Structure 1
Amino acid sequence: MPLRSVSAVAALADALRSRVLSGEIAPGTPLPEQELAAAYGVARPTVREALAVLVHEGLLRRERNRSAHVPDVTISDLDDLMYVRRPLEDLMAQAVAGRRVPEADAALARMAALPSDAPWAEPMAEHMALHQALIEAAGSPRLERLYGVLAAETRLGLVRLRDLYTEREVLVREHRELLDAIADGPVEAARAAVAAHLSHAWGNETHA
């Protein structure tokens, strides 16, 4: 396959991913291949491949005889997601307490450096990078794999939080406090900080 075609697929996938994670493409909105091809000036096979990338990532869903669409992450889905995420992140807190995680600090610095008008997808990418870095710092490949299974739903769930964080510095401050609490320890304090962090953001959304 020519490199130009690969680049077109990647560029289209990036553009659609940003629109999905910024909430611009609402859950349930169909994404017909022909319309996307016309809108972006690419061939339908390019659209088909780009959509396949996002389906593989879990950001889109494609059903038989239907256009691809963004799945709707319901309040019930979020409750169940957090039911599973909390014990995983508690294991992380126990393993990482008392240590700084440079990769998480770097993700936070990138988040803080984003312009105030950056699309929601950009701070959320750094948010995901920060939490992923903490999970990886625990040093358990199985924990990483379990956490990775939840990545797509977590990213889609984060779209719902954009109205709770209209001020970017609030998001940055909360994550700085989280990283400091984990680094300062002791273990029980780190575990409590992680639990409070998850309950604050996601609890506000699921009980809104």
Structure 2
Amino acid sequence: MDALVDALRKRVLSGEIEPGAPLPEQEISALYGVARPTVREALAALVHEGILRRERNRSAYVPVITAQDLDDLMLVRRPLEDLMAQRLAGRRVPAAEAALERMASKAAGPWSELVAEHMALHEALIEAVGSPRLERLYAVLAAETRLGLVRLRETYEDRDLLVAEHRALLDAIAAGDGRAAVAEHLSHSWGAA
């Protein structure tokens, strides 16, 4: 089942399975050659992660994240990441630096891999604060953040730009200027993106 969960997650986070698209159990079972109970468990795991949604008597589906959803997500992330930047001012976070290097090495690869490293970078920064409550609050936003990043793959056609933005963010935090950098980093206007 884990292999199926990973395969479906990668397809959703790469944008291969479009937002709003249903994932009928029977089709997935036939496509991957697995039994329907295995498909049901895999879909339930992805619903639990927030990558998919399921309503009564309907197939699981990829939620549509709108520009308004992204704006609201940034509204909630800003204070959490501002707190992180305050607490980490003047420090380097080796786990975040490592995630950035992996992100740079995957810039030409599948978007889903870049999304995974982007999330690893931000999660490493949050974890470095050392607050279990901050980690839990941030984790609640993780699935929507991942789905929002799927929406942004067209915005970052030059993926090196995404890497450069995160390098600037880490450098600003290390220099003690992280709060302004976080505000800038999370202030995009998504428009039709």
TM-score range, shorter chain: over 0.9
Instruction: Report what 2:179 is aligned to.
Output: 191
Which of 45, 48, 60 is 2:40 aligned to? 48
Which of 93, 113, 121 is 2:85 aligned to? 93
Which of 25, 31, 48 is 1:33 aligned to? 25
Give 1:207 deviation, angstroms: 6.4
For 1:183, the aligned partner's letter is A
Unaligned residue ranges in structure 1 (runs of 5+) = 1-8
Contact 2:84 2:129 in 1 (8 A): yes
Instruction: Report what 1:180 is aligned to.
Output: 171
Which of 3, 7, 18 is 1:15 aligned to? 7
Contact 2:78 2:186 in 1 (8 A): yes
For 2:69, the aligned partner's letter is D
Percent same amino acid at aligned positions?
Answer: 74
Structure 1 CA distance for aligned equivalents of residues 107 and 142 of structure 2: 25
Q: TM-score, normalised by structure 1?
A: 0.90
Give 1:113 deviation, angstroms: 1.3
Instruction: Report what 1:170 is aligned to.
Output: 161
Structure 1 CA distance for aligned equivalents of residues 107 and 136 of structure 2: 33
> Which 4+ stretches in 1 moved above 4 angstroms?
none
Structure 2 CA distance for aligned equivalents of residues 190 and 43 of structure 1: 49
Instruction: Report what 1:82 is aligned to.
Output: 74
For 1:51, the aligned partner's letter is L
Counterparts of 1:40-189 in structure 2 under 5 Å? Answer: 40-114=32-106, 116=108, 118-185=109-176, 189=177
Matched residue pairs, number? 193
Unaligned residue ranges in structure 2 (runs of 5+) = none
